[in-house]
Structure 1
């Protein structure tokens, strides 16, 4: 089950569409959907998590906690709406495009995709673009 939670003044206006999109992505990648929680927050909220759990004193757009077991995808995906807005401006894309990229990025990590090397990053970006094209 996919749930959306809000810790800041923001709310998705298309939860059902996004939930179906995420479910279809998980299925297409050969996994089963478990409990996935999206938590939308601000920079301060996510910075606190980043310092507390990862010992990083930096702003970030997403932190995901992966509880996947075998082929059952589960986890908590924290997304800073502040960072998504800034990144959308920096990358000259719409807020909606950047938000969907970050949302599916977390799921792709749960499916085993990495982004530490140039090759891994290119594969991750390709997968993000592929699934974003299925959303529109």
Structure 2
């Protein structure tokens, strides 16, 4: 189960099905990584809130696109994920993709972090990217790491 909390109403305007998208991401991700089927809280926030989280928990200035906070629990609640609207929207526009597809990618990225995936090394990054691509493909979303069609 995923609880989507829309703190920033800008998300509702840009992505009216945000909560449904979160549920679809969890369903597809849990099909290949069963542990992701546990309880998750997903915060749809703005860049200011994300900058605050990034500063408090990572000692880094400014917003980032997604943050994950694993619970450390063996059962039940898996953890929290936060998405920053302005950063996500800017990235999606820069990549020439929909905010919906980019948000799905970042939600899945965050979910994988909750179960221990990381991208500190090239090997870890490739493994995480392959899993993200597999899940996104099952959702009908193009590979975010692959070449783009210019047609």
Q: TM-score range by the shorter chain?
A: 0.7 to 0.9
Report which of the two has the higher share of strand. Answer: 1
Residue 23 of structure 2 aligns with which residue? Answer: 19
Residue 143 of structure 2 aligns with which residue? Answer: none
Asked if 2 retains the 8 angstrom alpha-carbon contact of 1:40 and 1:78, the reply is: yes
Residue 93 of structure 1 aligns with which residue? Answer: 97
Q: 2:50 aligned with 1:50, yes or no?
A: no
TM-score of the aligned structures, taking structure 2 as reference length: 0.79
Q: 2:105 aligned with 1:111, yes or no?
A: no
Decide whether aligned partners of structure 1 residues 129 and 118 sit closer, same or farther in structure 2, where only a CA change above 3 A counts. Answer: same
In the comparison of the two structures, how many residue pairs are matched? 136
CA deviation profile, 1:4-30 (whole Å, cap 9, x unmatched): 111112234163454144134224213
SS in 2 for 1:8: coil
Structure 1 unaligned spans of 5+:
none
Decide whether aligned partners of structure 1 residues 32 and 123 sit closer, same or farther in structure 2, where only a CA change above 3 A counts. Answer: closer
Decide whether aligned partners of structure 1 residues 23 and 50 sit closer, same or farther in structure 2, where only a CA change above 3 A counts. Answer: same
Decide whether aligned partners of structure 1 residues 100 and 21 sit closer, same or farther in structure 2, where only a CA change above 3 A counts. Answer: closer
TM-score of the aligned structures, taking structure 1 as reference length: 0.87
Alignment map for 1:1-136 (pairs within 5 Å)? 1-9=1-9, 10-11=11-12, 12-13=16-17, 15-16=19-20, 18-31=22-35, 33-70=37-74, 74-136=78-140
Structure 2 unaligned spans of 5+:
141-151
